Structure 1
Amino acid sequence: MDDEPLALNVLVEYCAQVPFLELKGRFHEALAAVEFLHENPVDVLFLDIHMPRLSGLQLAQLLPQPAPRIIFTTAHAQYAAESYELPALDYLLKPVRFERFVQAAHRAQAALRPTLAPTPTEPLEHADEVLFIRQDSRLHRVPVADLYYAEGQKEYLMLYTAAGRMLTLQSFRGLEELLPPGRFARIYRSYLINLRHLEFVERNRAQVHGTLLPIGETYREAFLEQLRFHGRAVKW
């Protein structure tokens, strides 16, 4: 659902190109979408946030139960932390790239599979828990849990991982779009950290896997709010 016709048309075209997606409806107006969803249950809802009369965040709280999995699509990055409280399965920033849309669709498909106990021969991580990083003309497989933090170096990123350092031609935004939502935080213009490996936070720096990194004033409040959301006590 999206109140912008061009953005909605893009999502419709993307849906048509993903074999396991079947489009059940498209809406420009929130209340019409709510009425349809009460009569026609769906598995996944692509939902804009910034809309007139009723926002996507408000609409999400009116959905019938069991509610569909929600993937937010918006041009406003500041809603990300609030969207995870619903919770959202994914958060796509406009203009939505097709490869990012496909990744979100696969994440929804994995989430909708029946939960089964893994056997000894089954992998313990889902496909969306692994990154493939290009370095030296090769794609290297990096488990998300093994990424400690990323450091920006002009048009490159230096990734610090359990297997060592990796230099790749990538932007912070491009990396953030590949990572699971809510589990990484930008703390400085040149640092993105994995909260799983955060050891402690001081007033202007954080230690991640034994390394002290600066916290920039621009990112400080959003970072602390993300820590509060994750249940960590933060007082200054």
Structure 2
Amino acid sequence: MIYTCIIIDDERHFTTLLEEYIAELPELELIKTFHDPTRAIAELTAEHFIADIIFLDIHMPHISGIELAPHLKKKCKFLVFITAHAQYAVNAFDLEADDFLYKPFKIERLQQSIKKITGHTTPAVQENTDNDFFFIKISGTQSKYLKFLYSEVIAFESDKNYIRIYTPNDCYRIYLGINEVEKKLAGRNDFIKVHRSFIISKAYIELVENNMVVMKNSNVQVVIGKQYKASFFAYLESHKF
């Protein structure tokens, strides 16, 4: 499972380090970093749900993490305070924080925290091979690329000149054709095309009923196209118990 994260901390040198830690942990996905708590509260408090985990610094200018926490606690699953001032720990837990990280901490301490608050073991940090992931360049930018793990992609859906990439926590609309995706996936056996507009991950298939495929961890349901029906059901038969 992937846990989305937001960092609110005015110390840029520390947020850079925490961003690097998060990038190395496959169960974490960083959505945004705020260095100004007033901007964070302006942008986030109107939202119904912000992220799975908020890493919130306590000692910040204008408004402290202690003051900010009540506005954010109900908008995330887990609230983790981070600070270099140990005397704030009591106040942090009075606010029912899920954990308290004392700066500076190593990535192993962050792993322990994620395991503690989610009840799941975070896989050890490891290098991905080139076959585990891919990058997609965001149109209209010169240097912004999104990284995707193949193991996290539920489906690719054609949307005119775009594709939608479904993951357990989000859906991304990218300027790219489905035929280009199909070419890039050539030679892989973890995806299968079931409709002219859909390429799905075999690992996320939850249920096949009549001509409908229901995918796990999403709202994706795909009607099997006529020209793909024979090959898809042949795949199912080859894996029937």
Q: Which has the higher strand share?
A: 2
With the length of structure 1 as denominator, give the TM-score of the two structures: 0.44
TM-score normalised by structure 2 residue count: 0.44
Report which of the two structures shows the higher radius of gyration computed on alpha carbons: 2
